[in-house]
Amino acid sequence: MQGVLAPLQFLVFLISTALVWRFLSTGDGALLATASVIVKTLLLYTIMTTGSLWERDVFGQYLFAAPFFWEDVVSFLVMALHTAYLIAVVGGFLDLHQQMYLALVAYAAYVINAAQFLYKLRLARLDAKSSAPRATQVAGP
């Protein structure tokens, strides 16, 4: 599931970032930018839920398993920032420009978190490659 949701969330992030920047630069497309951040946030909630279920299956606890402790810590910061955005939109606590800046802060935290996971994935692949049995050459006759 993560293999589908993570790239989808990243694609939505890229589109949403462009829409938010467009709004901040031109004042156009506020509704589309807002909708894109909401969709990105809903995908984030979904990937966090499925990720915690995976963590439970693999490590026996839903979150903060030792191998993913710091990734989960930053994930909670990302979730908090995205949730603050939703609260600001629904409650009207910030003006539209401030909401979009909050979305960009949430997105910056998301990029850091995504980099953490990509780094961890890269390390796992390198470890798997280095521990794979090596083929031995047999000398010919």
Check residue 141 and give its pLDDT: 45
Residue span of the structural domain in which 70 resides: 2-119
pTM here is 0.84
Q: Does residue 20 belong to any structural domain of this protein?
A: yes
Helices and strands in the chain, H and E counts? 4, 0
Q: What is the pLDDT of residues 38-69, one digit of tens each?
A: 999 999 999 999 999 988 998 999 999 888 89
- Residue ranges in the chain whose pLDDT is less than 50: 138-141
Check residue 127 and give its pLDDT: 78
Q: Does residue 47 belong to any structural domain of this protein?
A: yes
Check residue 17 and give its pLDDT: 98
- The answer to whether residues 22 and 33 touch, using CB atoms and an 8 Å cutoff, is yes
Number of domains into which the chain is organized = 1
Check residue 114 and give its pLDDT: 92
